[in-house]
Amino acid sequence: MTMRTRTQVVSGFLLAVLAVAAWAADVTGNWAGSISGPDGNTFDLTYTFKQEGTKLTGTVTPPQGDVLPLVDGKVEGDKISFAVNVDMGGNNVKFSSEGTIKGDEITLSTTNDAGMDMGGSMKLKRVK
């Protein structure tokens, strides 16, 4: 491979990477949604996301008002994932969420390591 061909290949690769990075959703800001708890009651959650590249940090505020930090957060293209550790009566329960970003809406599926039913998917909407 000639030097010129190698340069063209590397340049093409870098442009493709930059195009994907530019296309990736930016979820920085406030989002709100509702989810069903294990008892069937629905409660509201407010998320504050901060995205830097693929790294996602932020918080979630449940109805009780205790702000909880997000862990293991990332955004790749239109996919988002993060977790929240919650103290439930002395037991630490990890709630893991994965979802898809479509403009100002995120559809999330949440599981936990305590086996609680999370009532299906949740839709978050960007708070403007």
Domain borders along the chain are 25-126
- The pTM of this model reads 0.77
Among 86, 82, 29, 92, residue whose Cα is nearest residue 54: 82
Count of positions (residues) in the chain: 128
The pLDDT of residue 24 is 56
Among 45, 91, 42, 97, residue whose Cα is nearest residue 67: 45
Give the phi and the psi of residue 76 in degrees, each rounded to 5: -135, 105
Among 70, 42, 66, residue whose Cα is nearest residue 56: 70
- CATH superfamily, domain 25-126, is Quinohemoprotein amine dehydrogenase alpha subunit, domain 2 (2.40.128.120)
Q: 90-124, pLDDT tens digit by residue?
A: 999 999 999 999 999 999 999 998 887 777 789 99
Q: 19-48, pLDDT tens digit by residue?
A: 444 445 799 999 999 987 667 788 899 999
Choice between 60 and 3, residue whose per-residue pLDDT is larger? 60
The pLDDT of residue 57 is 98
Residue 9: HSE in the Cβ half-sphere, 13 Å Cα cutoff: 6
Q: How many angstroms separate the CA atoms of 92 and 48, rounded?
A: 22
Helix (H) or strand (E) holding 80: strand 79-88
